[in-house]
Structure 1
Amino acid sequence: MFFSVVIPTYNRRSLLAKALQALEQQTYNTELLEGYEIIVVDDGSTDDTLSWLEANQKDLPHVRWFTKENTGPAAARNLGVEKATGDIILFVDSDLIATPHFLQGHAEALHRAYAQYGDDKVFTYGHCIETCNLEDPTRTPAKITDFSAAFFDTKNVAIAKHLLFEVGLFDTDFKGYGWHDLELGLRLKNIGVRLAKAPQAIGYHVHPPFTLEQLPYLVSKAIQRGKTGALFYKKHPTFAVRLMVQRTVFHWWLWGILSLWGQLNEKTMAPFLQWLIERGYSELALQCCSVFLNWYIVQGVRQSSIAEPELLGGQ
């Protein structure tokens, strides 16, 4: 098998540099994995991503890159798949730092799954560890909160390319943040594609330490996630999707009560969050933000449903 590692990116030059340098340091069994390429799709970045790629191309022998107008990660990943030459697509984010045996871990897990099931209708999901250690992310230990129940999370998944084309690639109606990968995952599940864990394919999902300056961005992402969640439900109006996007009466009351119906928000909680940050608990401060961020999500879902009355469906 030959891997095409597809990485969409937007204004993340410094993190992308670390991600690509890690992927250039891979060690693997050539009898198991023939080789790999790295496809970077720049989604209309306004920073120096492209100039950095051009200046460092000699140190990035596996990398090819393409550019497009900013239309979101779904379209960017589709372009990467279309340009890929490998038979296996490995999706990673531009802020994921791979360990040296990352590709080997996916290759081993795919071979085991193919042998177990007798076909290639399977994808592997590697282990993602969240970290804010920008200098040495691999020193971060795994945590309970790193667990993800998502069926097809494109931070770290590998799948046969033909399966992606069979279900029609990512839906480019999803232009905002959230759900485009899980929506594709649902279509893959519907044709019988299975999930296989690849615990040795470890990647460190890097983000800067939480500060109050990040709050407007986080709130914007939450609102977008609510809107795209409504779109997800419109395309797949099932109870399972309603639970995923939190489009239920239970979630409305849960986050409404916990946030005091929006009274606990990024403004009113700012002093408490700053107090936690100053005492070295930035990760805890970020977790506390989930109270009002989830309230923004369920409001976004509900407001989008009201804008399109056929989405209400009994909520």
Structure 2
Amino acid sequence: MFFSVVVPTYNRLPILRQCLAALAAQDLSTAPGVDGYEVVVVDDGSTDQTVTVLRQATDPHLRLLQQNHGGAAMARNLGVMAARGNVIVFIDSDLVVVKGFLAAHARALQRHWRRHGNRLCFTYGAVINTSNFARPTTEPHKLTDLSWAYFATGNVAIDRQLLLRSGLFDPRFCQYGWEDLELGERLWKLGVALVRCPEAVGYHWHPPFQLRQIPQLIQQEKERARMALVFYRKHPTLRVRMIIQFTWLHLLLWQVLTLGGLLNARTMTPLLAALVRWERPGWALELLRLHLNRICVQTIFAEARQQRRQAPQPS
């Protein structure tokens, strides 16, 4: 087994340095079936010093690929096509992993391959969210870190040939969200098993929430809504409608939870500001998510209506 760790990145140099340092320090001694690994960083048109710094890097595992800014789906596809390994690991460039990260993925994959006699699986490691830039790996596991997503590329490992068979990522997902879960839907239809691998821990760093991030977060939710419809048009099933929250039940849910929209970014600003002052930015962000989820679901319905109006009418 030889790993290719594919890491798309865009203007994240400070945390990318920590991500790559953690990958350079991997200990494979507890996974005797692993021959080695490479780290394929795909720069998605960064405008900071990412490319300059990586070109000067001395880590023998590191390879740099570049593309014009086209999104994570295109970047991951480029990384997979250039990969030398027979197993692909996807992580984000703001993930800092433990020393036994690759070894844990290897052991879990090999156990499943032996037990089932095929490679129809992928391993899904633990992702712990943190805002601690100096020491991200000290963050404890929290209830909010649990994820029920089937295929989220923040921390997964999968056989490369199986990935190629699935068709890779759809480049139409050029904005924020859903490109990994859409690929996951195709893997699910192929009967690919999810194997949880809690020992493969990655610490997902993000800056502490601040009020000035609200416009960006709102824009992100609108992009996520548009990409959700791309997902649904490819897989027009009730299962996908539930995943993307494209149901009247979800629309009603977020209306109720936001008191018909009375709880929004403007009306909650004093409370959000107080929580930030009290050093509870995580609480502030979770409260704001009520408003953000309402925006996302409303945008999905609005975009769907707009697309129906613009669709050619039968002659």
* 2: CA distance, partners of 1:103 / 1:50: 25
Q: Does the aligned pair in 1 maintain the 2:123–2:156 contact within 8 Å?
A: yes
Q: Is 1:31 matched with 2:49?
A: no
Partner of 1:170: 169
Note the alpha carbon deviations across 1:234-260, whole angstroms, 9 max, x for none: 110110100110100011111122223
Q: How does 1:4-43 map onto structure 2 within 5 Å?
A: 4-29=4-29, 31-43=32-44
Contact 2:88 2:157 in 1 (8 A): yes
CA contact (8 A) 1:36 1:86 kept: yes
Distance 1:52 1:311 in 2: 47
Q: Is structure 2 residue 251 aligned with structure 1 residue 246?
A: no
- The 8 Å contact of residues 126 and 202 in structure 2, kept in 1 or not, is answered as yes
Instruction: State the partner residue of 1:296.
Output: 295
Name the SS of the counterpart of 2:70 in structure 1.
coil
Counterparts in 2 of 1:187 and 1:310: CA distance versus 1, 3 Å: farther
Distance 2:300 2:133 in 1: 34
Amino acid at match of 1:82: M
Deviation at 1:31, TM superposition (A): 2.1
Determine if the alignment matches structure 1 residue 262 to structure 2 residue 261.
yes
Question: For residue 65 of structure 2, what is the aligned residue in structure 1?
Answer: 66
Q: Aligned partner of 1:281: which letter?
A: R
8 Å CA contact retained: 1:177, 1:225: yes
Could you report, residue by residue, the CA deviation over 1:271-303 in whole angstroms, capped at 9, with x for unpaired residues? Answer: 110101111111100100111100111022112
1:43-78 deviation line (CA, Å, top 9, x unaligned) = 1111111111123x11x2211011111111100100
Amino acid at match of 1:236: H
Q: C-alpha displacement at 1:207, in angstroms? A: 0.6
- Find the counterpart in structure 1 of residue 286 from structure 2: 287
The worse-fitting range, judged by mean Cα deviation, of 158-167 and 262-271 is 262-271
Pairing 1:101-140 to 2, within 5 Å after superposition: 101-140=100-139
Instruction: Give SS of 1:220's match.
Output: helix
* 1:135-214 alignment runs, 5 A limit: 135-214=134-213
SS at match of 2:267: coil
Q: RMSD value over aligned CA atoms? A: 1.5
Q: Secondary structure at 1:269's aligned position in 2? A: helix
Q: Which residue of 1 aligns with 2:276?
A: 277
> 1:147-181: CA deviations, max 9, x gaps?
11101000000000011111111011111111110
Name the stretch that deviates more: 256-265 or 113-122: 256-265
Could you list the per-position Cα deviations for residues 135-158 of structure 1 after superposition, in whole angstroms to 9, with x for gaps in the alignment? 101111101111111010000000
The SS at the match of 1:268 is helix
The CA deviation at 1:261 is 3.5
Q: Which residue is equivalent to 1:218? A: 217
Structure 1 position 95, deviation (Å): 0.3
- CA 1:36/1:311 → structure 2, altered by over 3 Å: closer, same or farther? farther
TM-score of the superposition, structure 2-length normalised? 0.96
Letter paired with 1:76: A
CA distance in 2: counterparts of 1:199 and 1:115, whole angstroms: 20
Contact 1:225 1:300 in 2 (8 A): no
Amino acid at match of 1:199: P
Please name the residue that 2:48 is paired with.
47
Q: Distance in 2 between matches of 1:35 and 1:172?
A: 30
Cα deviation for residue 310 of structure 1 reads 8.8
- How many residues were matched structurally? 310
Report whether the alignment pairs 1:233 with 2:232: yes
Measure the CA separation in 1 of the matches of 2:162 and 2:245.
29
User: Which structure 1 residue ranges, 5 or more long, are not aligned?
Assistant: none
- Measured after TM superposition, the shift of residue 311 of structure 1 is 11
Unaligned runs of 5+ in 2: none
Which AA in structure 1 matches 2:274? Answer: W
1:127–1:202 Cα contact (<8 Å) kept: yes
Deviation per CA, 1:121-141: give whole Å up to 9, x if none. Answer: 100000110111111011111
Residue identity opposite 1:255 in structure 2: W
> Does the aligned pair in 1 maintain the 2:55–2:64 contact within 8 Å?
no
Distance 1:234 1:47 in 2: 36
Is the contact made by 1:90 and 1:158 (CA closer than 8 Å) also made in structure 2? yes
